[in-house]
């Protein structure tokens, strides 16, 4: 009697295109690969070129037959600076690529069974939800940052922020 093989889960990971976000999510991708899952790492074309030029990511993941890198446009012109000073531009550009992201989810083989999306670009989770694909919001930021982000409004209301004499 032949055993029926269960299909292997396929996770698509989409980090915000910044060093700390990409590095954290690459570590997560590696752990998922060790578990035998199909993993697609979606990156912006611009950041993927930086990744190839300045890291060993291609070599590091070559041993995983179920892993692949895929790129998507960030919606910005080639000469855009893509820095923290232009964060709004980058978020708007990524948001404009939602139709491309949707098409990628629909056409991917094997079919994507789960997405892990960076919390900074959580708006792309809506696309996964529309397609009925479970989605996880991953926050690669430190615990200190997350605590501050959750509490700053309370600190302002309590009069603790802004600090006296410091002008922002």
Domain for residue 151, yes or no? no
Residue 87 lies in a domain: yes
d(CA 65, CA 62): 7
Closest among 90, 32, 104 to 61, alpha carbons compared: 32
Which residue range is the domain that position 32 belongs to?
10-141
Dump pLDDT digits (tens) for 110-161: 999 999 999 989 888 999 999 999 999 999 988 888 888 888 889 889 988 8
**pLDDT above 60 for 165:** yes
Residue 1 has pLDDT above 60, yes or no: no
- Asked if residue 146 is part of any domain, the answer here is no
pLDDT of residue 7: 80
160 lies in some domain: no
Q: What is the pLDDT of residues 8-48, one digit of tens each?
A: 899 999 999 988 999 999 999 999 999 999 999 999 999 99
Asked if residue 70 is part of any domain, the answer here is yes
The tens digit of pLDDT for each residue in 74-109 reads 989 989 988 878 889 999 999 999 999 999 999 999
Catalytic residue of the set 21, 38, 46, 48? 21
Residue 144 burial (10 A CB sphere; 0-12, 13-18, 19+):
exposed
Helix (H, G, I), strand (E, B) or coil at 5: coil
Give pLDDT, residue 3.
64
Catalytic: 48?
no
pLDDT at 117: 97
The reply to whether 152 falls in a domain is no
Catalytic residue among 10, 46, 74, 118: 118
Structure tokens at 127: 């696309």
Question: Is there a domain that residue 20 lies in?
Answer: yes
Q: How is residue 103 written in tokens?
A: 């098409």
Report the CATH number at residue 31.
3.40.50.2000
The answer to whether residue 118 is catalytic is yes
- Whether the predicted pLDDT of 67 surpasses 90: yes
For the chain, the domain total comes to 1
Q: Structure tokens of 64?
A: 């995983």
Q: Once rounded to an integer, what is the mean pLDDT over residues 51-62?
A: 95
- List all residues 6 or more positions away from 14 whose beta carbon is below 8 Å from its beta carbon: 42, 101, 115, 116, 117, 118, 121, 124
Tell whether 148 is covered by a domain. Answer: no
């Amino acid at each position: 009697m032949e055993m029926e093989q269960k299909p292997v889960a396929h996770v698509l990971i989409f980090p915000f295109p910044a060093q700390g976000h990409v590095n954290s999510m690459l570590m997560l991708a590696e752990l998922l690969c060790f578990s035998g899952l199909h993993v697609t790492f979606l990156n912006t074309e611009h950041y993927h070129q930086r990744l190839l030029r300045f890291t060993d990511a291609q070599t590091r993941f070559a041993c995983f037959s179920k892993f692949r890198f895929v790129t998507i446009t960030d919606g910005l012109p080639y000469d855009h600076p893509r820095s923290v000073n232009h964060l709004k531009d980058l978020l708007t550009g990524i948001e404009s690529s939602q139709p491309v992201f949707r098409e990628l989810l629909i056409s991917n083989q094997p079919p994507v069974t789960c997405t892990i999306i960076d919390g900074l670009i959580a708006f792309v989770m809506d696309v996964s939800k529309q397609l009925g694909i479970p989605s996880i919001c991953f926050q690669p930021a430190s615990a200190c940052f997350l605590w501050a982000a959750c509490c700053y409004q309370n600190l302002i209301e309590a009069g603790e922020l802004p600090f006296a004499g410091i002008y922002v």
